[in-house]
Amino acid sequence: AQKVTQAQTEISVVEKEDVTLDCVYETRDTTYYLFWYKQPPSGELVFLIRRNSFDEQNEISGRYSWNFQKSTSSFNFTITASQVVDSAVYFCALSEARNNAGNMLTFGGGTRLMVKP
C-alpha cells in the first residue's frame, strides 16, 4: 500500500528565511509519480510540480526547488527567501501508474507554513 508522510504539521518562519518541507513516501511500485500541491486559505489545491520515479534530477523554479532522492524515498520542497504569500498548507502526494482508471493520488497530511512579516 502507498503511504505519504509529512512529519512537519506546522512550520513558522520569518519573511526572507529559507524553509524546507519534508516528504517521505512508501510504495512497492517501480513506476510512480510524486507531486506537490499548495492550498492557500481560499481552499483550492494549486499544482506545483510532478516528478516521475525515473527522473531524480533536482528542479528549480524561481524561489522553489525540489530534491528527489530515491535512496531515502524522499521528495523535499524548499522555498528560498520566503514571502508572506507563501503562507499555505502544502501537500505532497504519490500516485501509481494505472491503466484506464485515472491517476490515484495518495496525499500526505499536509504541512501548514506560516510566513510572518
Partner 1 sequence: ETGVTQTPRHLVMGMTNKKSLKCEQHLGHNAMYWYKQSAKKPLELMFVYNFKEQTENNSVPSRFSPECPNSSHLFLHLHTLQPEDSALYLCASSQEAGGSTDTQYFGPGTRLTVL
Residues near partner 1, by CB under 8 A: 33, 35, 37, 42-47, 50, 52, 91, 95, 97-105, 107-110
Cβ of residue 48: shortest distance to partner 1, in angstroms?
10
Cβ nearer to partner 1, comparing 47 with 83: 47
CA distances from 112 to 7, 37, 41 (A): 11, 12, 11
Helix, strand or coil for residue 81?
coil
Cβ nearer to partner 1, comparing 32 with 87: 32
β-strand 32-39 against 46-52: which pairing, if any? antiparallel
What's the DSSP call for residue 30? S
What's the DSSP call for residue 33? E
Cβ of residue 33: shortest distance to partner 1, in angstroms?
8
Interatomic CA distance for residues 91 and 116, integer angstroms: 20
Cβ nearer to partner 1, comparing 18 with 56: 56
Cβ of residue 87: shortest distance to partner 1, in angstroms?
17
Cβ of residue 84: shortest distance to partner 1, in angstroms?
21
Cβ nearer to partner 1, comparing 37 with 77: 37
CA-nearest of 19, 29, 15 to 111 is 19
